[in-house]
Amino acid sequence: MAELEKNAQPTVDAFGCVACGADLKFKPGTASLTCEYCGAKNEIPASEEEIQELDFHEHFEKGAAAQDHMEINLVKCDTCGAESSLEPNIASSTCPYCATPLIVSNAHTESIIQPKSLLPFKLTKKEAIEAFKTWINKLWFAPNALKKAVLSFDHFKGVYLPFWTFDSSTNTSYTGQRGDHYYVSETYTTTENGKSVTKTRQVQKTRWSHASGKISHAFDDVLVPASESLPKKQVRELEPWDLPNLVPFDTKYLSGFITEKYQVNLETGFDRARVDMEDSITGHIRGDIGGDVQRIHTRNTQFSDVTFKHILLPAYVSAYKFKEKLYRFMVNARTGEVQGERPWSVVKIVLAVAGVIAVAAAAYFLFGQ
């Protein structure tokens, strides 16, 4: 516990404006803190610190004591269970993931893992809202009322989402089979105009042969979400992220935004990264076997030189109601990529299917005659 307390040094506080004393907020797309009242700017000094890859096994053996920690004011949502930071001097707030009012009085200070690097917000809130509106307008089979609805962006919030990234060298030995297609002529009998006729056709066969081998592959920055608050599929589809532009962690970048708590620990994070690596290795094995089709019978992968980073990535997160049902969406605050849940118009789908059937019936009638 003493080691944990020693590492828990940085605290996410408000930064006061030297001109008027108001709280400063990080301005997306810049490297400065800006006062919303007098416009004063405070540049965030550029850091010369390198983004380091940390040794996985060393940190795993040492456990939580090996990680730097930071003090943060957290509040838990009673509806969805998400735990996110609460800005200083806030009297009321809502959950960014389900729009439920938060009980601010239940906020508590907690020591959490301090990320080593992050991607600062690049898009402003206004730009993210425009990206979302464009996404809504392009939705197929969306109810007309949705596009005409006056969507409320009161709960549209910038959130730093926690992630792990993993690097690893892999060596895999495998056994399997290679399948090569070939074709043979086959005669068959059919009836044409009331008469029995014999015809010939080409039939595909597969010649199987034993295959075995070893492949090596190096993985770089396999990304694993460290939060359970949002659907994994949608978070994945926010990719790609411009990870080469990561900057060393500085609490100034967090000012004015919510920070999500790490919910996935280092060991679980690597277990999930290993699944992604194995999926990729499957493709490499098939390529090494060659042929037209492949079968993989056994495989054994050794992971070495495993390193990791814990990082924060920026997104605008919100929830909107349509016909009393809640839908969530996210905007990648670096690229403007939008992912989210959406309603479907049953009427439009039925009419579209009916239209396809009508066209097919008309074509059959015309060409059939």
Which residues sit opposite 326 in a β-bridge?
321
- Total count of domains within the chain: 1
Residue 170 forms part of a structural domain: no
Considering only residues 58 and 344, tell me which one the structure prediction assigns the higher pLDDT. 58
Residue 345 forms part of a structural domain: yes
Residue 94 forms part of a structural domain: yes
CA gap 56, 305 in Å, rounded: 8
Q: Is residue 207 predicted with pLDDT exceeding 90?
A: yes
Q: What is the reported pLDDT for 327?
A: 75
Residue 352 binned pLDDT confidence (cut-offs 50, 70, 90): low
Residue 237 burial (CB count, 10 A): 14
Residue 147 domain boundaries: 2-162+222-258+309-351
Residue 36 forms part of a structural domain: yes
Residue 301 forms part of a structural domain: no
Q: What is the reported pLDDT for 7?
A: 40
Q: What is the reported pLDDT for 356?
A: 60
Residue 57 forms part of a structural domain: yes
> pLDDT tens-digit profile of 95-138?
877 777 777 777 778 777 788 999 999 999 899 988 888 887 77
- Which residues lie closer than 8 Å to 104 by C-beta, 6 or more apart? 75, 86, 90, 91, 92, 93
Q: Which amino acid is at 295?
A: R
CA gap 161, 274 in Å, rounded: 21
* Out of 9-13, 175-179, 306-310, least confident range: 9-13
CA gap 134, 128 in Å, rounded: 10
Nearest to 316 by CA among 163, 126, 159: 159
Report, as an integer, the average pLDDT of 131-155: 66
Residue 286 forms part of a structural domain: no
Q: What is the reported pLDDT for 64?
A: 59
CA distances from 59 to 54, 170, 248 (A): 8, 20, 19
Nearest to 131 by CA among 369, 359, 332, 342: 332
Residue 148 forms part of a structural domain: yes
Considering only residues 266 and 63, tell me which one the structure prediction assigns the higher pLDDT. 266
Question: Mean of the per-residue pLDDT values for the chain?
Answer: 82
Q: Is residue 3 predicted with pLDDT exceeding 80?
A: no
Residue 229 binned pLDDT confidence (cut-offs 50, 70, 90): confident
Choose the most confident range, by mean pLDDT, from 33-47, 134-148, 181-195, 200-214: 200-214
